[in-house]
Structure 1
């Protein structure tokens, strides 16, 4: 199975129109175009995850903009997009079709074309923030700390599943999806882009 994007080249920088954060403020926060092909026989649906694997693990360090975050600082995952139950004939997502612009407090549950979108990790990141707090469903793009010296990688992973739908709660996470997919993944394809707003 293969996946590609017309919005960025594999392993190359993601344009700021597809990022939540940009130098000096917000980016365009449009979801990138993605298309996939060559799913194996028996595929009944697709699932998609977008994960930043270079997220800093120390919140206090992230909050202190006066101290650069070293390249070798311990890293973890930050989920930017979760989509499940995409029908087998849905093999492309158009740029800007799921997100276009910043919605403070989150976009709310996004349904369409039979697919369901889950919570991304901005839900937890903005928890308790009077201006930004809320449930962040669907796509919200890269916003690495401006003082992070590491360029972040954003992996877009599509899974071909042998079931038409996954049993998930209304507000589900990437962790819920990974557990529900166990034993049902026929194939996976991935591509990644990079992003940094470090001066």
Structure 2
């Protein structure tokens, strides 16, 4: 199976159009166009994840003018998108079809292919202690790395072909729930990644 995008060139910088944040604040936050090909026989649904593996693990260093987030600081995964039960006949998500703009407190009913389910992304936990921003962030919310991070962040879009039409998931569910539920059901996987930074020294 192959994954391609008219919006992202594999391994190259992601345009701010597809990010949640830019140097001025919130960005257009449109989901990128994605298309997958060479789907294996027996596919009954697809799952989609977008993961940033470069997120700082020391929150106190994030977003400060008086210091940077060291490049060698240990990093964690941050889910920007989790979608399950994408019907087997779907082969493409158009740019902006699932997200077009950033919604404070999160999108309550994000768009997606008929029959699909959108999970929580990790902005839910990131903003949990902020009374102005807290909420359930469902669907796609794109890159918004710290401006003081010494590391360029990578964003991996992964599509999985599954041998089940629906995954056994809680409501709401997370990317971790999808990974657990599809164990033993993956027929094929395809991925691509782009990069993004708000650090002017790295841009």
C-alpha deviations, 1:81-136, integer Å up to 9, x for none? 00100011111001001111110000014354111010000000000212111000
**Corresponding residue SS for 1:6:** coil
**In 1: Cα distance, 2:99 partner to 2:136 partner:** 15
1:8-47 to structure 2, matched below 5 A, reads: 8-47=8-47
Contact 2:87-2:115 at 8 Å conserved across structures: yes
**In 1: Cα distance, 2:36 partner to 2:66 partner:** 42
Compute the displacement of 1:25 (Å). 1.0
Task: Give the equivalent residue in structure 2 for 1:50.
Answer: 50
Task: Give the equivalent residue in structure 2 for 1:149.
Answer: 150
Contact 2:46-2:161 at 8 Å conserved across structures: yes
Task: Give the equivalent residue in structure 2 for 1:164.
Answer: 165
**In 2: Cα distance, 1:54 partner to 1:173 partner:** 18
Comparing 87-96 with 62-71, greater Cα deviation is found at: 62-71
Unaligned runs of 5+ in 1: none
Compute the displacement of 1:63 (Å). 4.7
**Corresponding residue SS for 1:13:** coil
TM-score (norm 2): 0.95
Task: Give the equivalent residue in structure 2 for 1:195.
Answer: 196
Task: Give the equivalent residue in structure 2 for 1:68.
Answer: 68
Compute the displacement of 1:64 (Å). 3.2
Contact 2:86-2:113 at 8 Å conserved across structures: no
Aligned length: 199
Contact 2:158-2:189 at 8 Å conserved across structures: yes
Comparing 22-31 with 116-125, greater Cα deviation is found at: 22-31
C-alpha deviations, 1:44-102, integer Å up to 9, x for none? 00000000011111111115342111111111100000010001111100100111111
Task: Give the equivalent residue in structure 1 for 2:7.
Answer: 7
**Corresponding residue SS for 2:52:** strand
Task: Give the equivalent residue in structure 2 for 1:179.
Answer: 180
Contact 2:87-2:113 at 8 Å conserved across structures: no
**In 1: Cα distance, 2:63 partner to 2:16 partner:** 22
Comparing 110-119 with 47-56, greater Cα deviation is found at: 110-119
